[in-house]
Amino acid sequence: MKMKRIGVLTSGGDTPGMNAAIRAVVKAGMHYGAEVYGIYKGYYGLIHDIIKPLDGNSVYNIIHRGGTILKSARCKEFKTAEGREKAFETLKKYDIDGLVVIGGDGTLTGARLLGKEHDFPVIGLPGTIDNDLYGTDYTIGYDTAVNTVVAAVDKIRDTAHSHDRLFIVEVMGRDAGFIALRSGIATGAEKILIPEAKTFIEDLYESLEKGKSHDEGAGIIIVAEGDDFGGALEVEKKIREKFPDYDIRVSILGHIQRGGAPTAYDRVLASGLGYQAVKALIDGKRGMMVGSINRKIEFTPFEQTIKYNRPVNVELHTIAEILAL
């Protein structure tokens, strides 16, 4: 079936690079002779008919911008069969032949159901700072988020050493420690706590004792918000009990990690994956996420992307432990 009209939407949490991906979808669609329609506010906009045609002017000068020009919103209604039926009716209303969705596993779960229930071509792009999607080495926005954390922690370390303070920095990662692990190594953190590895409090105490012997208590602990210990505030509480003389501060970076101009890596990744998504629809592919593995484009069925968890690099975690000694 010839793709005359392609829809594109962003859903879930915004990530740096989403605009670059939208731009690529529009430009690639134009190249292949397809009209592209932007669906605003994710699946909510698909159900409630918030749709506009996009052209070259629509995506002019957006490749460097963070966030998403198509907006994003949570949509409980789309989680129901009735909601997805309304979404499909909207697609039919605009004669849209295929859909590109950009987001995380929740977004791709919705894409899988929509495509399966209504026999509709959908291709997904991995848009999440968490980097936890199976089927790609890097997700759109992850590199930028890590660099944002590194820039923040570098500044925090200046204060830590000026005042001999221990800073506990909490980063995003409810279920995955990719941001914490990579940014922790890049900033020379004294300890990195992630959901994938159990936190043993005695080991943490031992690390702090070693650090105190040569730097009077100054240092950085990176904690993923989903760490089994309960986040930065819980870690602070335990350390204060053991080391009451420590000068401790907690810094929760929060949503700063989701914003900002995307790095060059994220811009190129998003551009390439956006183009491949359109080409996949043109070639008749459906029900898949486009990813990059070992610098090669790979297509992973939604079922696998959703079912499997992408594990952190165990060797990288070992390296982090050794370098922190």
Tokens of 195: 């959901």
DSSP state of 62: -
DSSP string, 90-152: HHHHTT--EEEEEESHHHHHHHHHHHHHHT--EEEEEB-TT--BTT-SS-BTHHHHHHHHHHH
Tokens of 76: 């409980």
- Distance of alpha carbon 131 from alpha carbon 42, whole angstroms: 20
Residue tagged active-site, from 14, 97, 130, 227: 130
Tokens of 178: 């990719």
Provide the 10 A C-beta neighbour count for residue 73.
15
Catalytic site includes residue 55: no
Cα distances from 149 to residues 45, 53, 136, 144, 225, in angstroms, run 32, 36, 22, 9, 14
CB 168 within 8 A of CB 248: yes
So which residues are the catalytic ones? 130
